[in-house]
Amino acid sequence: MSVTGAREGTGARAISPGRFAGKVVVVTGAAQGIGRAVAARVAAEGADTVLVDRAELVHEVAAELAASAATDGTTAVGVTADLETFQGASAAVEEALKLRGRIDVLINNVGGTIWAKPFEHYGPEEITKEIQRSLFPTLWACRAILPHMISQQGGVIVNVASVATRGVNRVPYAAAKGGVKAITAALALEAAPHGIRVVATAPGGTEAPPRKVVRGPQPDSDREKAWYQQIVDQTIDSSLMKRYGTLDEQAGPIAFLASDEASYITGSVLAVAGGDLG
């Protein structure tokens, strides 16, 4: 989960220059938050990046990265797609291949709690929307990219799950992110013979700038605000470090798992939540 906080943490730190040199990295959900921070991080480390999001904002972000990368020969481009459908995921992959010719790394970052409330207060349509938002983009993107990575006999898929699989007031979101963890474990078994690694991080609470494109309705009534505060309190209590993380602290582990430095890691889910294992 992410939350607005005082520390924006939008800039990459502890950069490893050239770590992704010669690689094409696709980052989904790249217009804001963790996805944007990851795209900036891998671009700074030499990747040719393809930023995917359903928000038009992604083109602005890609242009900013392209401008900053122009001096070192790397490139960044934005692609708009609705990854909640297989058609959208397939179109995004095809566009990335058209633009770059290959894809070495896919980072699946789409997802996020839409509502925050006890499960008995969720309507059936809300439950469906939570699953569509936080499970299907990863499932469809993995399915769309897999034939290409099999054909090139190599690649890395990094999924972004969550430690909220054990958290209050987010049962549908927890179910979706639990599915992301399951995708990671099961697909790693199938993909390993083709030289493909499949890994994941499980972020905890993360401070981020205010979203330019909101996920859903904000807490309005006193009861809704209290439900959301329960999430914040539980997140901090569950962290041994008793705080939210920064975007940098999420982008770093994702970049590591995506890199050749993690070449002997697959099927693993790394909790990045200050000691909360979910």
DSSP secondary structure string, 36-89?
HHHHHHHHHTT-EEEEEESSTHHHHHHHHHHHHHGGGT--EEEEE--TTSHHHH
Q: How far is CA 237 from CA 50, 152, 166, 220, 277, in A?
A: 37, 45, 13, 24, 12
Q: How far is CA 263 from the centre of its chain?
A: 20
Pairing of strands 76-80, 48-53: parallel
Q: Kindly list the catalytic residues.
A: 173
State the Cα–Cα distance between residues 32 and 30, nearest whole angstrom.
Answer: 6
| Encoded amino acid at 157, one letter | I
Contacts of 24 (CB under 8 A, 6+ apart): 47, 48, 49, 50, 96, 100, 101, 102, 103, 104, 105
Question: Residue 35: helix, strand or coil by DSSP?
Answer: helix
Residue 58 structure tokens: 């992604």
Q: What is the DSSP letter of 245?
A: B
Distance, C-alpha 172 to centroid of its chain: 18
